[in-house]
């Protein structure tokens, strides 16, 4: 896919299709008016007949308008002018790209009127055009036999209008949007793969592959004996019931000065979560193949950093395991020792994510990080609290939590703060070990965070619970690619500081 800018007057642009906006009630957008004038009032007539009311995200494809250089014009509803927001603009754009994907259009120019909202400046317009094009055209890894659907012919998308002053920002936005779109596609591919393909060893192989393709990246993989040497008793306890051996994956991007403290991203990589001996109910258990979405987001974020040559040191750490019931599996009541030396009573083997993360977070310490952020499909309680729109953000560093939330707003990949105050850790008391791995039903997303906080003392740390946002269930079942865009924006800002 090629992303470029357009700057000529849109009526003379020679592309397969122009994407222009129509407002509900008030009608033609500025771009549509120019086309209408060139085409002898055809658009105005069409609207007057009531053939295209301009409802949000509706589209109508017109061919061969006289006086217009482009072969087609895609009218795209923007809804009421006063109600146009960044969000509805993005929806309309995605709908337009989706409509074109079902046609023979190979090149398109986006001339959609944008909201006057300052948050959608030239840079973010460029970024949205590239990112949304790639996410709309994304197709799930093809594991079906038989006839293959042809990929959409769309190969070139232009954003504009680019003036001498706006072009650099638009171009930078397009480049970043493309890198984000590609990273999100990587995350989605990894998430959508079934647990029998995407195993801990597979994730490790993916990290090695990224390191081979990008000079700034290097990968290191710890196998089971190495994990034992690191005394990662919690992570190993989760893995011990599975025939798939665990891995700790470290993927480093060296983009900053040597000696610059890195940002460390830590991902939960449970490639299948059956619950273990505390086995889950069987309904929708297949969706627990997505329990490695945090790990996939870490690999995607590192791929993004390498792709845009981010001037920042970033370390990705992934704890990759499969959680299964077995004669050798860890049992409720078992007490294990984490790499930090603290002991944990495993009261529920389904609260395995925090066991994997606590050892992976401890491993982050050796990098003397500027900040540590972990990403995890950690709790069903977070889904109950926030639904599927916001990831749960919490941590012991308020500034870092705020940074992540703001990155999510700019990236349209939002997170909401949950209060990780000290009271919550009281729920983790154990009679037999330093603490238990569960804190009861109440505030379950936060007590999970409180557990992690026991292992991040002294580090600037925040946690994103992406249990509700990383994938969709039901008819549109599939990975969403979240929170890759949030992470990319967070890293971009960090690199600017
Ligand atoms: N991977 C799950 C969390 C999850 C559940 C994500 C449903 C998305 C949808 C996690 O390992 C888990 O099982 N958590 C338990 C914790 C409980 C036992 C304290 C949960 O949320 O039920
Ligand atoms: Mn679980
Ligand atoms: Zn899990």
pLDDT digits (tens, 9 = 90+) for 27-64: 899 999 999 999 999 999 999 999 999 999 999 999 99
Average pLDDT, the chain: 97
Question: Do residues 164 and 214 make contact, with C-beta atoms less than 8 angstroms apart?
Answer: no
Helix, strand, coil percentages in the chain from 3-state DSSP, rounded to 5: 40, 20, 40
- Residue 160, class by beta-carbon neighbours within 10 Å (0-12 exposed, 13-18 middle, 19+ buried)? buried
Question: Is the pLDDT confidence value at 148 over 90?
Answer: no
C-alpha count within 13 angstroms, C-beta hemisphere, residue 403: 24
Q: In whole angstroms, how far apart are CA 197 and each of 119, 201, 408, 476? A: 41, 9, 31, 21
C-beta 438 within 6 A of ligand 1? yes
C-beta 61 within 6 A of ligand 1? no
Give the mean model confidence (pLDDT) for residues 275-293: 98
CA of 284 to the centre of ligand 2 (A): 13
Taking the CA of 439 as reference, the closest ligand is: 1
Q: What is the pLDDT of residue 239?
A: 98
Q: Is 354 a catalytic residue?
A: yes
Residues with CB under 5 A from ligand 3 (ion): 270, 273, 291, 353
Q: Which of 72, 127, 247, 354 is catalytic?
A: 354
Give the mean model confidence (pLDDT) for residues 162-182: 97
Taking the CA of 346 as reference, the closest ligand is: 1
C-beta 351 within 6 A of ligand 1? yes
- Best mutation site among 350, 470, 473 for ligand 1 pocket (most ligand atoms within 8 Å of CB): 350
Tokens of 216: 């700034």
Q: What is the pLDDT of residue 470?
A: 98
Distance of CA 462 to the CA centre of its chain: 17
Give the mean model confidence (pLDDT) for residues 351-361: 98
Strand 263-273 to strand 247-254: parallel, antiparallel, or no bridges (unpaired)?
unpaired
pLDDT digits (tens, 9 = 90+) for 318-332: 999 999 999 999 999
In the chain, residues under CATH classification 3.40.630.10 are: 181-496
pLDDT digits (tens, 9 = 90+) for 448-466: 999 999 999 999 999 999 9
Q: What is the pLDDT of residue 137?
A: 97
C-beta 273 within 6 A of ligand 1? yes
**Ligand 1 atom 7: the closest Cα is on which residue?**
380
Q: What is the pLDDT of residue 85?
A: 93
C-beta 444 within 6 A of ligand 1? yes
Question: Is the pLDDT confidence value at 117 over 80?
Answer: no
CA of 337 to the centre of ligand 3 (A): 20
CA of 420 to the centre of ligand 3 (A): 20
CA of 288 to the centre of ligand 1 (A): 9
C-beta 377 within 6 A of ligand 1? yes
Q: What is the pLDDT of residue 202?
A: 98
CA distance 77 to 98: 13
C-beta 344 within 6 A of ligand 1? no
Q: In whole angstroms, how far apart are CA 47 and each of 21, 41, 89, 304? A: 12, 10, 20, 43
pLDDT digits (tens, 9 = 90+) for 242-283: 999 999 999 999 999 999 999 999 999 999 999 999 999 999
Question: Is the pLDDT confidence value at 141 over 90?
Answer: no
pLDDT band at 26 (very low <50, low <70, confident <90, very high): confident
Q: What is the pLDDT of residue 150?
A: 84
Give the mean model confidence (pLDDT) for residues 455-484: 97
Looking at the CA of residue 291, tell me the nearest atom of ligand 1.
1
**Ligand 1 atom 22: the closest Cα is on which residue?**
380
Taking the CA of 268 as reference, the closest ligand is: 3
Q: What is the pLDDT of residue 22?
A: 97
**Ligand 1 atom 16: the closest Cα is on which residue?**
351
pLDDT band at 77 (very low <50, low <70, confident <90, very high): very high
Give the mean model confidence (pLDDT) for residues 417-433: 97
C-beta 162 within 6 A of ligand 1? no
Tell me what percent of the residues of the chain surpass a pLDDT of 70: 100
Question: Is the pLDDT confidence value at 142 over 90?
Answer: no
Q: Which CATH class is domain 181-496?
A: alpha beta
In the chain, residues under CATH classification 3.40.220.10 are: 2-161
C-beta 381 within 6 A of ligand 1? yes
pLDDT digits (tens, 9 = 90+) for 190-227: 999 999 999 999 999 999 999 999 999 999 999 999 99
CA of 380 to the centre of ligand 1 (A): 5
The angle, 0 to 180 degrees and rounded to 10, between the axes of the packed helices 122-137 and 86-101 is 40
Q: Is 148 a catalytic residue?
A: no
Q: What is the pLDDT of residue 151?
A: 87
Residues with CB under 5 A from ligand 2 (ion): 273, 350, 352
Question: Is the pLDDT confidence value at 118 over 80?
Answer: no
CATH architecture of 2-161: 3-Layer(aba) Sandwich (3.40)
């Amino acid at each position: 896919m090629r992303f470029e800018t357009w700057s000529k007057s849109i009526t003379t642009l020679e592309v397969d299709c122009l994407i222009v906006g129509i407002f509900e009630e008030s009608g033609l957008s500025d771009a549509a008016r120019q086309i209408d004038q060139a085409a002898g009032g055809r658009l105005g007539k069409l609207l007057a007949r009531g053939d295209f009311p301009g409802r949000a995200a509706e589209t109508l494809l017109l061919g061969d308008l006289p006086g217009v250089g482009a072969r087609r014009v895609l009218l795209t509803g923007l809804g009421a002018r006063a109600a146009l927001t960044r969000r509805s603009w993005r929806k309309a754009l995605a709908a337009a790209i989706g409509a074109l994907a079902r046609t023979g259009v190979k090149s398109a120019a986006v001339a959609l009127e944008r909201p006057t909202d300052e948050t959608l400046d030239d840079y973010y317009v460029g970024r949205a055009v590239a990112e949304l094009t790639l996410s709309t055209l994304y197709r799930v890894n093809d594991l079906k036999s038989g006839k293959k659907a042809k990929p959409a012919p769309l190969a070139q998308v232009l954003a504009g209008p680019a003036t001498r002053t706006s072009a650099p920002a638009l171009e930078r936005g397009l480049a970043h949007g493309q890198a984000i779109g590609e990273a999100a596609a990587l995350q989605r591919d990894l998430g959508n793969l079934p647990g029998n393909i995407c195993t801990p060893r597979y994730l490790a192989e993916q990290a090695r592959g990224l390191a081979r393709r990008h000079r700034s990246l290097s990968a290191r993989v710890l196998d089971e004996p190495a994990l034992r040497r690191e005394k990662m008793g919690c992570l190993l306890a989760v893995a011990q019931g599975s025939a798939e051996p665990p891995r700790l994956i470290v993927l480093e991007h060296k983009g900053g000065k040597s000696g610059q403290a890195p940002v460390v991203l830590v991902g939960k990589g449970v490639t299948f979560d059956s619950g273990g001996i505390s086995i889950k109910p069987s309904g929708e258990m297949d969706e627990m193949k997505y329990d490695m979405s945090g790990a996939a987001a870490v690999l995607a974020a590192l791929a993004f950093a390498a792709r845009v040559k981010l001037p920042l040191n970033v370390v990705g750490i992934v704890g990759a395991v499969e959680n299964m019931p077995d004669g050798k599996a860890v049992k409720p009541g078992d007490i294990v020792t984490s790499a930090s030396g603290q002991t944990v009573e495993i009261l529920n083997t389904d609260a395995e994510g925090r066991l994997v993360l606590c050892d992976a977070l401890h491993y982050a310490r050796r990098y003397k990080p500027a900040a540590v952020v972990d990403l995890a499909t950690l709790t069903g309680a977070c889904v109950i609290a926030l639904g599927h729109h916001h990831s749960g953000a919490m941590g012991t560093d308020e500034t870092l939590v705020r940074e992540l939330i703001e990155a999510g707003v700019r990236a349209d990949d939002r997170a909401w703060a949950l209060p990780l105050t000290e009271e919550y850790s009281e729920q983790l008391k154990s009679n037999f070990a330093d603490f238990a791995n569960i804190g009861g039903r109440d505030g379950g997303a936060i007590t999970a965070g409180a557990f992690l906080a026991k292992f991040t003392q002294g580090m600037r740390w925040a946690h994103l619970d992406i249990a509700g946002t990383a994938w969709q269930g039901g008819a549109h079942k599939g990975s969403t690619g979240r929170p890759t865009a949030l992470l990319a924006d967070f890293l971009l800002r960090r690199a600017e500081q």
